[in-house]
Structures are given as structure tokens and as C-alpha cells.
Structure 1
Amino acid sequence: MMARMTSPNLLLLSFSLLACFLPSPCSSSSSGGEKEDGTKIKGMFVFGSSLVDNGNNNYLQESMAKADYLPYGIDFPLGPSGRFTNGKNVIDLLGDQLNLPSYIPPFTNPTTKGSRIIHGVNYASGASGILDDTGSLAGQVISLNQQIKNFEGVTLPDLERQLGCKSSESLPSYLIVVGTGGNDYTFNYFMRKSSINNNNVSLEAFTVNLITTLSAQLKRLYELGGRKFVLMSLNPIGCSPMVNARLPMRKGCAQKLNLAAHLFNTHLKSLVDLIKPHMPGSNLVYVNSYKIIRDIIKNPTSKGFRDASNPCCEVASISEGGSGVLCKRGGTTCANRTILVFFDGLHPTEAVNDLIARNAYASNLQTQVYPINVKQLAQI
């Protein structure tokens, strides 16, 4: 009698019952479960420009927007990596806040595949923008549209193979971080505005077009499975050393550039509420890095800074054939990089990035994060 009970059918039934109690590949157990701080995030997929780029342009031979040389990375554990700052960028530091296990790898690195993508991928490209033609002055860049195509066509099939389930099941455990738009103004709209043939588009109309385009791009990421979105505001681009170098006789920030950034940010914050009905089950957080940096610039010492107008590194000037943005290769840097706001002509130091990441993660001020902070988003 006992021998008859060990039939293949009984064994099959036993395995089926056991499977009911095992977690599926895309269950919370697969994504690390709930952490001590209540967050449930497995990783991040990052889209945008140089403020969040961690090395994608390194692999673009024809790109002039690169940061894979010293003094970039002078304070980064791995040295120069393609991050446009002295150390960690805001994505690295946000990952630290989320207790993610490793740096998010850049998409264009040939090794970014297989098990390396389980905690996310970074697609951001320095000098790129929301519009496809932004960044053409920098040579080869990866537009936001192409970044999303790379995510959809290359990463998602690989992620499904790695996790053993559909990306629509796994992506709610990831943050979708988008930080872009500044280049659409500085290296597109205002440069075209100075052209005789391209001066008839108002700032408001250009901004509405940007936000409409970005809205469609966010909806596409939603359709692919994204549910938790972090939208980074534009920084106060009119206060950058690059602008100071181009307009040496002007004192203070360039209000036209800051007005453009402020206008975009106002629309972007409104989009958080306006887009939700079109993306059921999604949650979006707006991070106001503009205000965080502007507050430092207005009163640097209150935040532990001393210099809010000069670049820390020696910048290749326009008269020398540079752009006024990037550090000279092997150029000098300031001795104390924790007290300067800008590392080069445009990008913040790690110290500023850290302040942005900490506020994004834990601030309870809706003037800094709206409508909730990233920690609360990660707990949903």
C-alpha cells in the first residue's frame, strides 16, 4: 500500500503544493523584501542629461561632452568615470539613501547586461535633452527618446530573463528617475533665439512643447511598466559659472535663464498631478533641486558653503576653444571641494549633490519635494 502512494501523480501534487508556498520570481522577496526603513525598492532606471549621467558618453566616440578624465572623479572611489562632478552624482547618493547594493551601471558599457542590470541601468547622456535635436552641438549624444528605446528594446527583455517574469510585474519595484530639460534651453532655445531665422518662438510656447513631449515620454515609461517616478527639476542655470564667463560684465544670476528654468519647473510640478489620471496606479515625486541650490547661492554659509559663483576646477574657456562648461584635462582644482557649489562651469560638486539627494529622500517640505518624498514613494 505504501509503495502505491509514491506514484508520479502524488509526487507531482506534492511539488504543486510546495510551489504555492514559494515566492514567485517577482515577489517582494525577489526584490529584497521590505527593508528596515520600510522601503521596497530593488533599483533605479535613470534617464536624462549630464546631471545624472554616470558614464554613458564615455562610449560615444563622437561625443564632445565627456567627463572621463581628471579632475573629474578626483573624489570618486573609482576615479574618473564619466560623472560630471568631483565625486558621486545625485543618482549615486540617492542610491546610498535607498541602501541599494551597488552603483547603477551605464547602459552603453558593454558589460551592462545579465546579472549586472538587476538593480537598474542608467541611460542618461550628457548634453542631451527632451527634444531630439538638443545636444547636436556636442556631437554624438543619446536623446531621451532614444534612451527610452534602449530601455524598452534591450534592457527589459534581458531583465525578464534575469528575473523570470514580465517586466510589468517587476518594474513597480524600481524607481524611474528622470532628470533632463536644462540643455533644451541653454543649448537649444536660447542659441536658436539668437539666430535671425529662429527668433519667433516664445519661451512659454517652447516650454509647453517641452512639457507636452516629456509627458508623452513618461506615459511611454508607464506603459512599459514603470509605476514610481522621480522627476528632477531644472537647476538655476542662470547662476552657473558658465553664464558668468559668457556675460562677464553682469552681476548676479542671468534672470532670463532662471526664468526659463522656473517656468519649466512650475509646469513640471503641475504635471505630477495632471498626469496621474492618465497613469492609474502610478506615483510621482517632484524634486525641487532649483530651490535647494538657489537657497545655497543666496546664503552659502548657512549650508556650509563659501563660494557659490566660481568653478572648483580650471575650466576650458571659450577664448581657448572650450565651451566654458567642462574642466581642462588634468587641470587644477580647488583644495577644499566641500565648500564650493559648482565643480565646473555648470555641474554641482558632490557636496551639493549630497544635499539634493538627502532632501529628495527625506525632506517633509513640499517646497523641496512634492507631494511626498522619495522615502515615502519607496514605501508604497
Structure 2
Amino acid sequence: MSIPLILAVLTAPILAMAANHTSTTTPSLVTFIFGDSLTEVGNNNHLRYSLARSDFPFYGIDYTNRKPTGRFTNGRTIIDIISEKLGIPSPPPYLSLHHNDDAVLKGVNYASGGAGILNDTGTYFIQRMSFDDQIGYFENTTKVITVKIGQTSAKTLLHRAIYFIAMGTYSIVRGSNDYMHNFLQPSLPDGRRYTHEQFLEILSLKLVEQLTRLYLLGARIVIFHALGPLGCVPSERAKSTTNQCLRQVNEWVVRFNYKVQKLIKALNFKLKKAQFIFADTYQDGLNLIENPSKYGFKVSNRSCCAIETAVGGLCLSYAHVCANRSEYVFWDAFHPSDAANVVLVDRFFSKLFDTSNSSTKSSSNHIGYML
């Protein structure tokens, strides 16, 4: 999909809903967020037995009140920053809301650390909300919205909302958990049972089913974020004797992105009025890692939080944390720093909006608008 068309898709619902600013039941823009730890804002805090949690120091050290919230970074997630740019609050975690909460009318975040497209991805985290689980919770949300504002208004809200999906994923890390916590784990069966092409076909078929399900529930404007250069994540570099990016993994990522781009194009043709968008940010992530100084960073081959990737890669409370966090691209072995998230979101928006408008910019010392 061309950049001008993406711009039209994003601005149309903003303008349309802003025209109804006298309404007390709907905000100017509604967003629904699906994904993994890159976009989670605290759902897993409510899963008692989940091992995919970040509600402990030093996570959140640069966030509001310097406290951990369940975000897998030192500060804001990409969704927090996108929400700032859109001029709306970052949607709350679904599991923090009570059943009939009015907050659902303003958007909800269903993302869950450890989640994947496939239901068996991340099983060793014990509890996490898979993409299927998240869609199921979204279905519950649509029913609540319908009860609150009626079927016609609910249909309009759902059609005009923007759906961000970062299962495989918007930023420079993880790719999808389906790779990190499934296919690339030799202890799990999928990596031994299938070739990459077979695994890719399984992922693609499942994703088509899930995107179609979202469409049938009312989603029309869906932004699916591409996988980044997963082979360059600190946890993957650690597998190299020279701490280099893993070429084979990055080649698999490029193949996945190409496959998803094609299936999204097919869905736009098949589903009436669907405006599904594939946001390909792979090269942006790779440029940031290979040329960190261009964007104001000094370190991109290791994480700010000095951790042992062999024991999980999260920034545990006894780990050593660098003082110059804004100079590191990676926060822990998997996730980007707040500063890196700002740069990547800015580059995404620079392709959509006139970046000379200062009101769309996040405060940052990094060069986030260079193309």
C-alpha cells in the first residue's frame, strides 16, 4: 500500500470522528492494540503464574514516577509514543479493566508478553495471552461497546478505530515470539519438526484466519507491523562467537515479511472495505543497529542492562544498569530502549505525516525524522 494511501487511511478516521466532538460517548480516535512484550502495558501483571513479567526494577526506571508498570523497557513502549503523537492516552491493559468499564470506548491494549500467532508459542511462560486469546477478549469488548452505545454507533466506532498489531513486530526486536520462543528454541518441537518454509506456511495460514476474524468483529483499518532484524537482537548475537548478527535468522525474517505483505494484499482484495496495512520497518531497524551514531546512539550490539542471556535475558533486579541509557539501542536482551522506540516511531510517522509540524514530534535529542 502506498504511503499517500496509508496517510489517508490514518487521517480519515481522525477527521471523521473529530467532527463528532460534541458526542460524550466516543473520543476523537479509538485504538485497539494487539501484540507481545513490545506493546504490552501491564496485562501480564494480572496473570498470577506468568513468567513473562516486567513489574520489577529496573523496568520503568525512566517512566512516570520511575516505577515498573509491566512495560518491557526502561520507559515508554512504541504504543505509548504512537498514542502521544496521535494526541490520545495510551490505551489501558485489558485485564486492568472491570467488565463494564467505560474506558473500552476509548480503546484497549490486549498485548501480552510471550504471546504469539500460534497458540503453543511461549508455553514455557506458563501464562500469557496468545493472539487468539487477545482476539477473544476483543470480541468481549465489542459486546460491551454495543450494550453501551447501541449496535449502530458501536459498528461505526469499530469500523473507524485503528488496530495496531505488533505480533511480529513493529520494532527492531524479537521478530515474533513465534520465532524467539518457538521455532528458534531447540528445546521446543516446532524447530525440530518443520523446515522454515513449512513453519512459515503454518504461521501464514493462522494469521489469515486471525485477521479475518478481526475483520468479522468490525476491524477495518489494521496496521500490521513487520518483523525487524531479529538476528541482531542481543539474545541472538550471543549465539555468535564474534557477537555478530545472525544472517540466517535475518534472512528468515525477510522471507516472513514478504509472505505477510502478500497475504495482507490478498485480504484487502478479498474483504470488502478492508484497509489492512503492512508497515515494513525492517530496514529502519537495521539502519539504526548498523549506524547508531547517525541517530545519536553509541551502543547497538549489547544491552544497557548487563544480563546473562542464558538465564532469560530480562533485566533482573540484581543486574547492572548503564547510566547513559539514552545512548543504548537495546534495553535488555530482547527489547529496545525508550530512546530507540522514539526514533523508530518517528521514522514510521515521518512516512505518514508532514514532520515539519512540531506538534507531531516527541521530545527527543535523537534524529528521529531523517529518511
Report the TM-score, using the length of structure 1 for normalisation: 0.80
Confirm or deny: 8 A CA contact 1:341 1:349 kept in the other structure.
Answer: yes
For structure 1, the residue ranges without an aligned partner over 5 or more in a row are: 1-26, 366-380
Are the structure 2 counterparts of residues 169 and 133 from structure 1 closer, same or farther at C-alpha, using a change threshold of 3 Å?
same
Q: Confirm whether residue 186 of structure 1 aligns to residue 180 of structure 2.
A: yes
Confirm or deny: 8 A CA contact 1:44 1:119 kept in the other structure.
Answer: yes
Confirm or deny: 8 A CA contact 2:182 2:188 kept in the other structure.
Answer: no
Partner in structure 2 of residue 209 of structure 1: 202
Are the structure 2 counterparts of residues 158 and 42 from structure 1 closer, same or farther at C-alpha, using a change threshold of 3 Å?
same
For residues 202-241 of structure 1, what are the structure 2 equivalents within 5 Å?
202-241=195-234
Q: Confirm whether residue 81 of structure 1 aligns to residue 75 of structure 2.
A: no
**Could you tell me how far apart the structure 1 residues matched to 2:223 and 2:150 are?**
26
What's the secondary structure of 2:68's corresponding residue? Answer: coil
Counterpart of 1:161 (choices 147, 162, 166) is: 147
Partner in structure 1 of residue 95 of structure 2: 108
Cα deviations by residue, 1:257-303 (Å, 9 ceiling, x for unpaired): 21222111111222231110222112122222322110011111111
Partner in structure 1 of residue 59 of structure 2: 72
Are the structure 2 counterparts of residues 113 and 331 from structure 1 closer, same or farther at C-alpha, using a change threshold of 3 Å?
farther
Cα deviations by residue, 1:333-361 (Å, 9 ceiling, x for unpaired): 21122221100001011112112222222
Cα deviations by residue, 1:97-154 (Å, 9 ceiling, x for unpaired): 1111x221001114475221222111111111000000101111111011101110x2
For structure 2, the residue ranges without an aligned partner over 5 or more in a row are: 1-12, 22-26, 169-175, 354-371
**Could you tell me how far apart the structure 2 residues matched to 1:197 and 1:183 are?**
13
Partner in structure 2 of residue 312 of structure 1: 304
Larger-gyration structure (1/2): 1
**Could you tell me how far apart the structure 1 residues matched to 2:17 and 2:146 are?**
13
Report the TM-score, using the length of structure 2 for normalisation: 0.82
What's the secondary structure of 1:199's corresponding residue? Answer: helix
Q: Percent identity?
A: 31
Partner in structure 2 of residue 291 of structure 1: 283
How big is the alpha-carbon RMSD for the aligned residues of Structure 1 and Structure 2? 2.4
* Count, aligned residues: 327
Are the structure 2 counterparts of residues 287 and 196 from structure 1 closer, same or farther at C-alpha, using a change threshold of 3 Å?
closer
Counterpart of 1:52 (choices 20, 36, 39) is: 39
Are the structure 2 counterparts of residues 115 and 191 from structure 1 closer, same or farther at C-alpha, using a change threshold of 3 Å?
same
**Could you tell me how far apart the structure 2 residues matched to 1:317 and 1:197 are?**
22
Q: Confirm whether residue 327 of structure 1 aligns to residue 293 of structure 2.
A: no
Give, in angstroms, the shift of residue 62 of structure 1.
1.1
Counterpart of 1:99 (choices 84, 87, 104) is: 87
Confirm or deny: 8 A CA contact 1:69 1:330 kept in the other structure.
Answer: no
